[in-house]
Chain A
Amino acid sequence: MSAPRPLIALAGNPNTGKTTLFNHLTGSRARVGNYPGVTVERRVATMSLGSGQDADLVDIPGTYSIVGRSAEEQIAIRELTGLGGGRRPDLVVLCVDATNLVRNLYLALQLQELGVNLVIALTMMDEARGILPEPHKLGAVLQCSIAPVVARSGEGVPALVELMRDRLATPDAAPRWRWTPSLTLRGAMDRVRAAAPEGWPKDDALALWALMSVTETDELQGVPQAVRTAVLLGGPAGEAVDEEVITARYRWLDEHIAPALSGPPERSLTDRVDAVLIHPIFGFVVFLGIMFVVFQSLFAWADPAITLIEDIFGALGGLIASSLPPGILNDLLVNGVIGGMGSVVVFLPQILLLFFMLGLLEDSGYMARVAYLMDRVMRLMNLNGRAFVPMLSGFACAIPAVMATRTMERQRDRLLTMMVVPLMTCSARLPIYTLMIGALFPPDRLWGVVPVQGLLMVFMYLFSVGMALTAAWVLSRTVLKAPNVALVLELPPYRAPRLRDVLRMMTSRASMFLREAGTVILGFTILLWALLSFPKDVAFTQDYEAQIAAAQTEAQVAQLTAAQDGERLRGSYGGRLGHAIEPVIQPLGFDWKIGVGLIGAFAAREVFVSTMGVVYGVGGDVNEESVTLRERMRSELRADGKPVYTPLVGMSLMAFFALACQCMSTLAVVKRETGGWRWPTFLFVYMTSLAWTVSFLIYQGGRLLGFAG
């Protein structure tokens, strides 16, 4: 074929079955990327129009209107008209929810004013039968081709494809206006149209778009200055324009569409379900139950799969280690490459599980109820109710939680959530807390009842929530200050989720994580491996090789090997780096050996435990329950003969781990979600500074109060 493949845009309100229809039309896997400058996904896939003809179908994010003042709201107008240099689609398919016809057709009127080549897919036909006029009669009123479909079952899709093919062959892109602008508005539109420079369409509908979208403080990209000036200088007040236009469109819909409907759609099921699910008492019981399942699945149910993955990569590493001659290449492959791949894949169980749950919650309509129930709480963080599930997931792991911010509508809300989710007590912090609390605090009971160690653990959770709240409060008033956008939440009817859509979203998320965040994590792992493995020619204090050769028992060999590994690590670049940062961390009560542990823990927080095992020469295969490591820590002395680890140092170190961004995978996934290094850099800098400051205050304040440093 010589002509380029036709480009078809799929648009519609949220909750209209648009994604299901997209999956039905394309069948194959979509190519997913980000829109430039915003963290919104652009999905394109190839679809077959029959008789050997293919087309590209782009899924436009669900929207109620083409008008908007933010960069992400601008996506719709760009994709629909090619405004700003993109390709104008040859055809627009608009998903219209047949059970909510008037509200959905508001967007259709906007598209007709724009003069796009339009086909309407009337979705949810199974729910709307009996209340709708005949589709062809509706089409006659709207002067538009309409195909009724049931996206869930695929009923009507072949007829829709046929219609799309016809419309591509004989386009109908005449602008249709259902209302007449007032003289004032007419004048303003003429002025904006006339001001449009070369390359900006001189079009009534686009002039109206500018009048309703451009403000003194909008975030729109690429709007010519001449157009801005024409909108902002003189002319009618924006509020008056908005009211005139929106009222006029609805008036037409109320006169021409509403009377043809024979009644409201059947909503008794949704009403009955809502009577329970947003009930003041039962609603919260069910909510807590569902959230428990979401949390528990990440926290505990993913565990067997995680262990399995770790075992597989461990075995793979062992296999390579024993089949290649020992040396740097062997070590690189085993500890750098295989280990790095393992630390990427290990996130998959949680990501898959969380997105499975999210898919079910979102597609069933329950996610909107979560937002409705929890909005009051999330408002404390200057967020809305939609931030609840990502925040909750953060208690298991920040990686899937950051990815879950996709379910939020606004860029600023997504960013704010991403910036505070890593403060939540994720499961990787627990081994550190367990080690510190176990080694440094007595297993006593306060007042004979409350165990001190358990109390400290609870305190660490409360501490993280408090810090996340504070961080959100501060960030939302400084770095992420944005005009307070009112919450307007649609509560869609409950519908059974379609498993195929959920699974497809799940696998698409997972593969994106592997491809984009995974490569960064792998790179970091290899870098860290190199830091902790080189140089190889460490000058040992004893001749370990000879001693090992002369050793009598296996225990002696193990002890000597561990001591040698410890010395090697202390002499590595990472070890030297630990020395180098000692002046910075000394005011927090940490010595350079802890510094090495902090560097190692950048791979993942829990690695701190095994790194400390190696540093102290008790071997890297210790865990947080290890008695040897705890005793070794308690007996570790400073140069002045005082113990390195006191309860105060333990508190300082726990606070540091609670607050510092000791997790390269979090940075990698934030980079992937925000499309650049700016936000992950900010996250790292702010969290680490916060951690340093709080640990400093704890340690120095504690010493001033007379606690042993």
Chain B
Amino acid sequence: MAQLPQNDEIPLASLPSGTTALLTRVGGDRAFRRRVMELGLVPGAAVQKRKTAPLGDPIELEVRGCRLSIRRAEAEVVWVKA
């Protein structure tokens, strides 16, 4: 999935806390990608970045009313469009 980022895409990790954006695509290794998508983070889904854990990692997300947490390194390969 070696796509170059589109102009208006940013990694989920860079999304300011408290904002919601539309998910465009999920990168990373296959197991991570499948797991995350099966939890509802599919392209087109609205995802909110809620906050960052006190030690700086991981980050907390909300998608489809469900709270999830993934590490910052993985949030770098989940792309959203504001």
Q: Does A697 contact B (CB under 8 A)?
A: no
Q: Which of B1, B29, B30, B70 contacts A487 (CB 8 A)?
A: B70
A373 near B53 with CB under 8 A, answer yes
Closest to B32 in A: A486
B34 near A372 with CB under 8 A, answer no
A67 near B68 with CB under 8 A, answer no
B40 near A106 with CB under 8 A, answer yes
B22 shortest CB reach to chain A, Å: 13
Given contacts A278-B53, A283-B54, A375-B53, contact A242 B30 (CB under 8 A): yes
A487 near B71 with CB under 8 A, answer yes
A483 to B29, CA, bound (A): 10
Closest to A385 in B: B58
Q: Does B21 contact A (CB under 8 A)?
A: no
Residues on A with C-beta less than 8 A from B39 are 64, 103, 488, 490
A65 near B40 with CB under 8 A, answer no
Q: Which of B36, B42, B58 contacts A372 (CB 8 A)?
A: B58
Residues on A with C-beta less than 8 A from B9 are none
A142 to B3, CA, bound (A): 37
Q: Does A491 contact B (CB under 8 A)?
A: yes
Name the segment of A243-251, A400-408, A611-619 touching the other chain.
Answer: A243-251
Residues on B with C-beta less than 8 A from A99 are 65
Q: Does B4 contact A (CB under 8 A)?
A: no
A242 near B34 with CB under 8 A, answer yes
Q: Does A312 contact B (CB under 8 A)?
A: no
Residues on A with C-beta less than 8 A from B64 are 100, 102-103
Q: Which residues of chain A from 278 to 300 have any CB-CB distance to chain B below 8 Å in the complex?
A: 278-281, 283-284
Given contacts A103-B66, A372-B60, A487-B58, contact A243 B31 (CB under 8 A): no
B54 near A279 with CB under 8 A, answer yes
Residues on B with C-beta less than 8 A from A175 are none
Closest to A375 in B: B58
A590 shortest CB reach to chain B, Å: 43
Given contacts A100-B66, A372-B58, A376-B55, contact A486 B28 (CB under 8 A): yes
Per-residue CB proximity of B42-56 to A under 8 Å, as 1/0?
A: 111100000101111
B25 shortest CB reach to chain A, Å: 8
Q: Does A69 contact B (CB under 8 A)?
A: yes
A381 shortest CB reach to chain B, Å: 15
Q: Which of A372, A377, A486 contacts B74 (CB 8 A)?
A: A486
Given contacts A265-B65, A483-B31, A490-B68, contact A64 B54 (CB under 8 A): no
A278 to B34, CA, bound (A): 28
| Chain A-chain B contacts (Cβ-Cβ < 8 Å), number | 119
A488 to B30, CA, bound (A): 14
Residues on B with C-beta less than 8 A from A247 are 37, 42-44
Closest to B38 in A: A65
Q: Does A550 contact B (CB under 8 A)?
A: no
Point out which of B1, B55, B60 has the most chain A C-beta atoms below 10 A from its C-beta.
Answer: B55
A379 to B44, CA, bound (A): 31
Residues on A with C-beta less than 8 A from B42 are 243, 246-247, 250
A239 near B30 with CB under 8 A, answer yes
A376 near B68 with CB under 8 A, answer no
Closest to A218 in B: B31
Residues on A with C-beta less than 8 A from B37 are 242-243, 246-247
Q: Which residues of chain A from 235 to 270 have any CB-CB distance to chain B below 8 Å in the complex?
A: 238-239, 242-243, 246-247, 250, 264-265, 267
Residues on A with C-beta less than 8 A from B28 are 486
B42 shortest CB reach to chain A, Å: 5
Residues on B with C-beta less than 8 A from A215 are 30
Point out which of B28, B42, B60 has the most chain A C-beta atoms below 10 A from its C-beta.
Answer: B42
Residues on B with C-beta less than 8 A from A704 are none
Q: Does B17 contact A (CB under 8 A)?
A: no
Q: Does A528 contact B (CB under 8 A)?
A: no
B76 shortest CB reach to chain A, Å: 11
Point out which of A239, A250, A265, A488 has the most chain B C-beta atoms below 10 A from its C-beta.
Answer: A488
A278 near B68 with CB under 8 A, answer no
Residues on B with C-beta less than 8 A from A242 are 30, 33-34, 37
Residues on A with C-beta less than 8 A from B71 are 375, 486-487
Residues on B with C-beta less than 8 A from A243 are 33, 37, 42-43
Q: Which of A65, A100, A246, A280 contacts B65 (CB 8 A)?
A: A100
Q: Which of A265, A377, A483, A489 contacts B69 (CB 8 A)?
A: A489
Q: Which of A265, A376, A483, A485 contacts B53 (CB 8 A)?
A: A376
Given contacts A247-B43, A250-B42, A483-B31, contact A491 B54 (CB under 8 A): no
Residues on B with C-beta less than 8 A from A212 are 34
A491 near B38 with CB under 8 A, answer no
Given contacts A239-B30, A250-B45, contact A376 B56 (CB under 8 A): yes
A493 to B33, CA, bound (A): 24
A602 to B63, CA, bound (A): 52
Closest to B60 in A: A491
Per-residue CB proximity of A330-372 to B under 8 Å, as 1/0?
A: 0000000000000000000000000000000000000010001
Closest to B68 in A: A490
Per-residue CB proximity of A77-103 to B under 8 Å, as 1/0?
A: 000000000000000000000011011
Given contacts A103-B64, A279-B54, contact A486 B70 (CB under 8 A): yes
A103 to B37, CA, bound (A): 10
A679 to B71, CA, bound (A): 30
Given contacts A102-B64, A372-B58, contact A488 B53 (CB under 8 A): no
A267 to B66, CA, bound (A): 10
Residues on B with C-beta less than 8 A from A64 are 35, 38-39
B30 shortest CB reach to chain A, Å: 6
A489 near B30 with CB under 8 A, answer no
Residues on A with C-beta less than 8 A from B33 are 239, 242-243
Q: Which residues of chain B from 4 to 37 have any CB-CB distance to chain A below 8 Å in the complex?
A: 28-37
Q: Which of B54, B58, B67, B68 contacts A280 (CB 8 A)?
A: B54
A281 to B1, CA, bound (A): 40
A69 to B31, CA, bound (A): 8
Given contacts A372-B53, A373-B53, A486-B74, contact A250 B40 (CB under 8 A): yes
A-B contact pairs, 26 of them (CB 8 A): A103-B64, A106-B40, A215-B30, A238-B30, A242-B30, A243-B33, A243-B43, A246-B38, A247-B44, A250-B40, A264-B65, A265-B65, A280-B54, A281-B54, A373-B54, A375-B69, A376-B56, A376-B57, A376-B58, A486-B70, A487-B74, A488-B68, A488-B70, A490-B67, A490-B68, A492-B67
Using CB atoms and an 8 Å cutoff, list the residues of chain A in contact with chain B. Answer: 64-65, 67, 69, 99-100, 102-103, 106, 212, 215, 238-239, 242-243, 246-247, 250, 264-265, 267, 278-281, 283-284, 368, 372-373, 375-377, 379, 483, 485-493
- Given A102-B64, A243-B33, 8 additional A-B pairs, CB 8 A: A65-B38, A103-B64, A376-B58, A379-B57, A486-B71, A487-B71, A488-B35, A489-B68
Closest 8 CB pairs of A and B: A376-B55, A486-B32, A491-B67, A280-B54, A489-B69, A246-B37, A65-B38, A242-B34
